[in-house]
Structure 1
Amino acid sequence: MAEEFVKSVEDGLKLSKRVYFGKDRSVVPPKPISMEKSEQQSQSHHHLIPTAPIFYAVISDPGIVDNPDCPSYQPHVHGRCDPPVLIPLQMNNISVEVDCYLDTAFVTLTGSWRVHCVMGSRSCDCRLVIPMGEQGSILGVEVDVSRRSFSTQLVTMEGQTDTDKPQTKQEDGWFLKPQIYTLTIPQVDGGSNFSVKVSWSQKLLYDAGQLTLNVPFDFPEYVSPAGKKFAKREKIQLNVNSGTASEVLCKTTSHPFKETRRQVGKLGFLYEADVLTWSSTNISFSYMVSSSDTLGGLLLQSPSVHDLDQRDIFCMFLFPGNNNSKKVFRKQVVFLVDSSESMRGTPLENVRNALNAALSKLNPEDSFNIIAFNGETYLFSSSLELATKETIERALQWISINFIAGGGTNILLPLNQAMEMLSNTSDTVPLIFLITDGSVEDERHICDVMKKHMENKGPISPRISTFGIGKFCNHYFLQMLALIGRGYYDAALELDAIEVRMQRLFTAASNIILTNITIDCFEHLEAFEAYPSHIPDLSSGCPLIVSGRYQGKFPDALKARGTKADLSNFVIDLKLQRAKDIPLEKVCVKQQINLLTAQAWLSQSKHLEVKVAKMSIQFGFSSEYTRMILLQTEEGKQGIQSVDIQEIPNKGDMQKLVDSRSRKVSLLKGLGIGFGDLDATTKNIFPGFGEPQLPEIAGEVFINAASSCCTKLANCCCCYCCIRVCSRMNDQCMIALTQLLTALACLGCLSCCDVCSSD
């Protein structure tokens, strides 16, 4: 998908040369990128992948491309653009507000664009592309244009299977890349100005006690308004509420922010300026909670009047602090690496590189083993090996020889082998890392088996961390497995992200400084519900956050207890605070939705599915059981506002709603990642984020074979060229061509008959 998008933008920039703005300036393709940036973006013109929210005009008819204010003479253009090209629209102003709470940021972006490249008498679709930060989740889009307004909303799809869902066009609400969402606004008139408001949530990165925000805000030069240079206003407002009673220290900033507020645990900044060119730097901001030791607290909040769950809300957090000298538990780790046929090439190569980096970070007193698995298992050693320099070198050599893709996928066998290896452990927390790109039929059985292992081994049971590659593995199975194993979960939906995210997972899951954590009085509360249900270990690589609902009353003094790496007891006072200015339910709901969805999958509970759908709609976070729709309202018409569309009882009603022109409702693509694809795993289809790469069909093989004939005929007409031409002909042309070829064939036959008769 991304390659097709880049090609459309590249063609759109060429087509935009038709737009003439007088002697001041015309729209031109972007300037050549620097050598340093070129090396980073060398593949497939990645510099054309948006690094900030951008609107594009979707052009199928190149003849409509012109200056809407002063039409110029344009040569006639024959044909249509298939697929349509994308011309970046000019941006008039931009403003961003970011609110950071604990480890989550909520971003609201407002701006305005102009359809500067389409005749005033014509119209085109406009596509909005929204890049988001770490684990971005789109919350809503609002667009006002030409007496019309558009807004997104989540609805339930109860009683509707995948085969029943109405078909939508590819561009109707889909992900260009895992963190880049795109949405199409239909039929916007040339010369129109329109305003946009977009909101999303994303995670803050944590490293060595420092939290970092990174918001895409790097605009290309070609979105600047054409004509004489004039000042443009850009604004960034940044608010930080750490939720702690400690001082917050600002470390680094990307823009010249001015401090507007400083209180205990809170910071406020503002950047506002008139600029000649839009920002070419992402919004980056790093801060640290002033504490060298472990810092903890408990935030409490009463539910709002409109909350479907009227139990009180709690959020317990532990920050590991910035003391790098803290002792971590000795590691006993087994890596389970999927080497099935679908991992061939880039996926397995990237996993190999990440595993090499993980092995290099082991200490000599740590021990490890590696199991490659497909339908069978291949062990580096029959038992755990100390991570000496010589052993790691042997392991790296073994990986280079034995990581050969082939066969199917069997996950239970290597898991049981790893459990057996880690059965005799002391003064350590044993670790299992499972890396896979596929789904298997016995996933629920695997979860049941692992539950029994955990119950038998007690508090020193192995911690299972999971890593999913691509979209064909069941990510909710992997999350449930990590929940059962009190470990961590992460994923790389794109192959380029495998190395970075795997190393991040290993750092977070292996540097454990506190285990067997318990909180006083949790068991004495009524109607208590926590996410995750078992408190994970505290790692030096990331904060620990547990949230949920309860009835009753917390005591004034509360303590968290655990075991340190030297096996001594750890106790910390948790300060209770009423979170008056932190939307706890929104900060924690995404984690809750993901874990509840995993539980709903495991238990096959319709009750939990309904619960997830209601939470999704109430707080605006997408889920597997809701779909997003685009509502269109015309000024002066009240039809859509009077309709309650928060719940669609069945597929028939949804289809009527989508098909009703008076209501102007469009059903968008689902935002969920699904529950894996057994068929794709069985067929060993290459993992990836885009559409599945199915085996070549006969027609595709024929076209590929035919393509080589062009070079033999001096680029003249050949079978491949004919195929391409015929695929773009209308019915009348095809009939005429068929008749012509038939006539020529008949003439050939007559000539042959003459020759034969003369003989």
Structure 2
Amino acid sequence: MADDEFAKAVEDGLKLAKRIYAGKDRHFGPPRPVGGMERSLASLLPAAPMVYAVVDDPGIVDNPDIPSYQPHVYGHCDPPALIPLQMNEIAVEADCFLDTAFVAIRGRWRVHCIMRNRSCDCRLLVPMGEQGSILGVEVEVGKNSYSTRVMDEEENQKMEKPERNEGGGFLKPELFSLTIPEVSGGSDISLTIRWSQKLFYEDGQFSITVPLNFPEYVTPFAKIFAKKEKIQLNVNSGFGKEVLLQTTSHALKERSRQAGILTFLYEAVVEHWSYKDFHFSYSVYSNDLFGGILLQSPTMYDYDQREMFCLYLFPGNNQNRKVFRREVVFIVDISGSMEGKPLENVKNALSTALLELNPVDKFNIIAFNDELHSFSSCMELVTDVKVENAHEWICKTFVAGGGTNIMHPLNKAIDLLFDARDSVPHIFLITDGSVEDERDICSTMRTRVANRGSMSPRISTFGVGSYCNHYFLRMLASISKGQYDAAYDPDLIESRMQRWFRRASSPIVTNIIVDIFNHLDEVEVYPTHIPDLSVGCPLIVSGRYQGKIPDSLKAKGILADMSEVVIDLEVKNTKDIPLEKVFAKQHIDLLTAEAWFSESKQLEEKIIKLSMRSSVPSEYTYMILLQTDTEKQDAVKQAKKHGSQKHAGPKNRLSILVHGLTIGFGNIVATSENLPTGFGEPKLPETNDVLEKAVRCCDNYCCCMYIIKACSKMNDKLAVVMAQGCAALSCLGCYECCCAACCESS
């Protein structure tokens, strides 16, 4: 597993770090509580923004400030060891708007483990929150600065060919990596990392979690060092209701409060860095359904000069609100690629979903590969006996094998739901594969859904891994008012599927319409078809329009008793919430699905403009890490100041392509060959034995470094005699160790 290999590289780095002599002032903060073994696998994986020295030559490891005697080690670490750098500053700022948070982390790390006249690459790793999207990284190190930039194909071709090809990207879901090249020992690395993430919503509460669990070994050596932590949180709910604070992990102090707008600050000098994630939750209270529309004019720099809007609807806190009766068909991919953990987790999630159905609901299950396997020939009423029979059928039938055919089970499911009355029919499709007729599937389902009228089946889709076409699945859900979700990590399949099912299968208001949209000169809504409003899940749609929106509007829909409900919408102009920024990722994802389906170059151009303006990566743009020489920048400023034309401007000295930011449009070849479900886990080669010998040299308390430390506490004459004798013995021992290492590596 990639986690094991990464943890092994960090473990090797920590062993190498034992070679570093920290001096007499070495200081460790007070012991922190830990669960289980101190160096467990989980403790070595990044649970906060971390920077590592990438060491392939163990001979360069030393304290840049206090050089010490080190036995030379021949050979290289393959793969490189990762030594966690010491952190000197950390500050977090989070801005929460509607259902989205924008997080900026500013920190300073020091390359404390590399000789001053040597250099190495340094690797930044950032575990991001729910549905995170990287927005940019800025780096200052020595006389060089780096920054990321999103650009299109044309601009990318004009640039010089990237000098390096390992700039980083997402190593796994929500774990972003970036390589900073050739950093000298003793340098300070100042970093600003920006990303967006969705606020988690459950039981009427919004919450944000930012990973801030730092290990003890990032604490600096020096005793005299003021370690300051700062967290600033700004909340603008935008919903016009009172915001109620629920829980917080750190001692936040409220700085200001207005209607729906709050500012908090936490600032402290600490003995050790934070060992828990920053968590904050709040609720927007209302006893009944409520909603509103936010309006905003575009800025002068916006390529789209149409007005912007955001429509939101909340289910309220009425726990007695009736839910529609459901008729549910589960369609599960059991092709050969689903074998093992993916299929087991899907089975567990499906079993839980069956238990959450009500006695008035109906259900059926279709397992598919090259063939169809149906639990029943008709829809079955939910009873204890039927659910138990379904569990037994799942255990017997869900055996991975065969190919992938998605059209056939979808048509079969719609036929099963043909007679659905006074209920909301649902189709839940789970697959890990991509097929050739995906556009035909979308066209066919669009026609069949339209022919069913207002109570047409909602097709909710769930993608497993990276081989399926997630834009096909998103498009299929969009055209049928369904819900889309995905899991790119096998350990997340069960939890995300359960949440996806609950969100999609508990509607309290369906067929929502806002009449004014039909009377505007032009309107563009994301998603195109307004989904249902479900229990415990706010509905937020957005878009652009031209025309005049009145001061008050109404939204209409159908309740579970089939009566009509009218919700008054408060119309409000806002300047405090950057609507374009908040919905940029949602618009890019939905537009990309539309562009894939229609094969429209015009939509692709639109996505490129939006991606470059918002700094959100897309399938049609690139993220590049650019290096600029700050000395040349200063020279340019001085030249301009004195009117000289000698310096035309700073040139980009290094450009590195950042990989792994997009998911692509599926892998038909991998699906047809039934390759195991792809989760994008990078594989690292085995560690070279040379590294093992290098780090084990310092595991022994008779190592040269420990002898020198002991000598420093003796009187001068005895220290000289002992140091000379021990040095001679140590050299012989290290010579033998190094000879053995070199012989084995050759």
Would you say same fold, with TM above 0.5?
yes
TM-aligned CA deviation for residue 25 of structure 1: 3.4
1:672 paired to 2:667: no
Equivalent in 687, 699, 716 of residue 677 of structure 2: 687
1:622 paired to 2:612: no
TM-aligned CA deviation for residue 636 of structure 1: 3.1
> Partner residue of 1:59?
55
| 8 A Cα contact 2:171 2:682, kept in partner | no
> Partner residue of 1:68?
64
Cα distance per residue 1:539-574 (max 9 Å; x no partner):
113211111111111011100110011111111111
Matches within 5 A, 1:447-458: 447-458=442-453
Partner Cα distance (2:146, 2:193) in 1: 12
Partner Cα distance (1:26, 1:405) in 2: 55
Change over 3 Å in CA distance of 1:641–1:136 after alignment to 2 = farther
TM-aligned CA deviation for residue 390 of structure 1: 1.0
1:351 paired to 2:354: no
1:570 paired to 2:560: no
Change over 3 Å in CA distance of 1:527–1:663 after alignment to 2 = farther
> Partner residue of 1:337?
332
Matches within 5 A, 1:532-611: 532-611=527-606
> Partner residue of 1:298?
293
TM-aligned CA deviation for residue 606 of structure 1: 0.9
> Partner residue of 2:254?
259
1:7 paired to 2:8: yes
> Partner residue of 2:73?
77
Cα distance per residue 1:235-260 (max 9 Å; x no partner):
00001111022110000111111111
Partner Cα distance (1:667, 1:418) in 2: 44
SS of 1:82 mapped into structure 2: coil
Cα distance per residue 1:469-515 (max 9 Å; x no partner):
00000000000000011100000001110001000100100010100
Change over 3 Å in CA distance of 1:26–1:376 after alignment to 2 = farther
TM-aligned CA deviation for residue 69 of structure 1: 0.6
Equivalent in 399, 402, 425 of residue 404 of structure 1: 399
SS of 1:298 mapped into structure 2: strand
Partner Cα distance (1:292, 1:640) in 2: 63
Equivalent in 457, 469, 490 of residue 485 of structure 2: 490
1:87 paired to 2:77: no
Partner Cα distance (2:634, 2:78) in 1: 36
* Amino-acid identity (%): 59
Cα distance per residue 1:29-58 (max 9 Å; x no partner):
x999413x99xx97xx13211111011111
> Partner residue of 2:647?
none
1:240 paired to 2:235: yes
> Partner residue of 1:198?
193
1:111 paired to 2:107: yes
Change over 3 Å in CA distance of 1:518–1:229 after alignment to 2 = same
Change over 3 Å in CA distance of 1:5–1:382 after alignment to 2 = same
Cα distance per residue 1:452-484 (max 9 Å; x no partner):
101110111000000000000000000000001
SS of 2:452 mapped into structure 1: helix
SS of 2:627 mapped into structure 1: strand
Q: Give the residue type in structure 2 aligned to 1:610.
A: E
> Partner residue of 1:98?
94
1:145 paired to 2:141: yes
SS of 1:521 mapped into structure 2: helix
Q: Give the residue type in structure 2 aligned to 1:459.
A: S
Unaligned ranges ≥5, structure 1: 643-659, 694-699, 701-724, 734-759
| 8 A Cα contact 1:561 1:569, kept in partner | yes
With a CA cutoff of 8 Å and minimum separation of 6, indicate the structure with the bigger relative contact order. 2
> Partner residue of 2:469?
474
> Partner residue of 1:754?
none
TM-score (norm 2): 0.87
Partner Cα distance (1:605, 1:668) in 2: 26
SS of 1:664 mapped into structure 2: strand
| 8 A Cα contact 1:336 1:373, kept in partner | yes
Partner Cα distance (2:32, 2:240) in 1: 49
User: Which stretch has the larger CA shift, 204-213 or 398-407?
Assistant: 204-213
Q: Give the residue type in structure 1 aligned to 2:6.
A: F
| 8 A Cα contact 2:480 2:529, kept in partner | no
TM-score (norm 1): 0.85
TM-aligned CA deviation for residue 666 of structure 1: 1.8
Cα distance per residue 1:320-340 (max 9 Å; x no partner):
122222111111100000000
1:439 paired to 2:442: no
> Partner residue of 2:362?
367
Change over 3 Å in CA distance of 1:160–1:246 after alignment to 2 = closer
SS of 2:482 mapped into structure 1: strand
Change over 3 Å in CA distance of 1:692–1:65 after alignment to 2 = closer
Partner Cα distance (2:675, 2:229) in 1: 46
> Partner residue of 1:757?
none
Partner Cα distance (1:361, 1:268) in 2: 39
Change over 3 Å in CA distance of 1:382–1:168 after alignment to 2 = farther
For these two proteins, the number of residue pairs brought into alignment is 675
Partner Cα distance (1:604, 1:50) in 2: 40
Q: Give the residue type in structure 2 aligned to 1:267.
A: L
Unaligned ranges ≥5, structure 2: 638-649, 687-740
Partner Cα distance (2:61, 2:418) in 1: 70
SS of 2:8 mapped into structure 1: helix
TM-aligned CA deviation for residue 295 of structure 1: 2.0
TM-aligned CA deviation for residue 533 of structure 1: 0.9
Q: Give the residue type in structure 1 aligned to 2:9.
A: S
SS of 1:99 mapped into structure 2: strand
1:271 paired to 2:266: yes
Partner Cα distance (1:301, 1:150) in 2: 34
| 8 A Cα contact 1:171 1:182, kept in partner | no
Cα distance per residue 1:4-28 (max 9 Å; x no partner):
3222111101100011112443899
Change over 3 Å in CA distance of 1:535–1:12 after alignment to 2 = same
Partner Cα distance (1:144, 1:34) in 2: 36
Matches within 5 A, 1:493-512: 493-512=488-507
Q: Give the residue type in structure 2 aligned to 1:685.
A: L
| 8 A Cα contact 2:292 2:571, kept in partner | yes
> Partner residue of 2:122?
126
Partner Cα distance (2:368, 2:27) in 1: 58
Change over 3 Å in CA distance of 1:601–1:228 after alignment to 2 = same
| 8 A Cα contact 2:171 2:660, kept in partner | no
Cα distance per residue 1:173-227 (max 9 Å; x no partner):
2212110100011111111112111110000111121111111111111111113
Partner Cα distance (1:692, 1:436) in 2: 22
Change over 3 Å in CA distance of 1:631–1:215 after alignment to 2 = same
Change over 3 Å in CA distance of 1:255–1:26 after alignment to 2 = closer
Partner Cα distance (1:214, 1:610) in 2: 35
SS of 1:86 mapped into structure 2: strand
| 8 A Cα contact 1:158 1:625, kept in partner | no
> Partner residue of 1:178?
173
SS of 1:501 mapped into structure 2: helix
> Partner residue of 1:415?
410
Q: Give the residue type in structure 1 aligned to 2:378.
A: S
| 8 A Cα contact 1:337 1:434, kept in partner | yes
TM-aligned CA deviation for residue 669 of structure 1: 1.2
Change over 3 Å in CA distance of 1:440–1:400 after alignment to 2 = same
Change over 3 Å in CA distance of 1:679–1:457 after alignment to 2 = same
SS of 2:240 mapped into structure 1: coil
Matches within 5 A, 1:275-294: 275-294=270-289
Change over 3 Å in CA distance of 1:93–1:123 after alignment to 2 = same
Matches within 5 A, 1:159-174: 171-174=166-169
| 8 A Cα contact 1:208 1:324, kept in partner | no
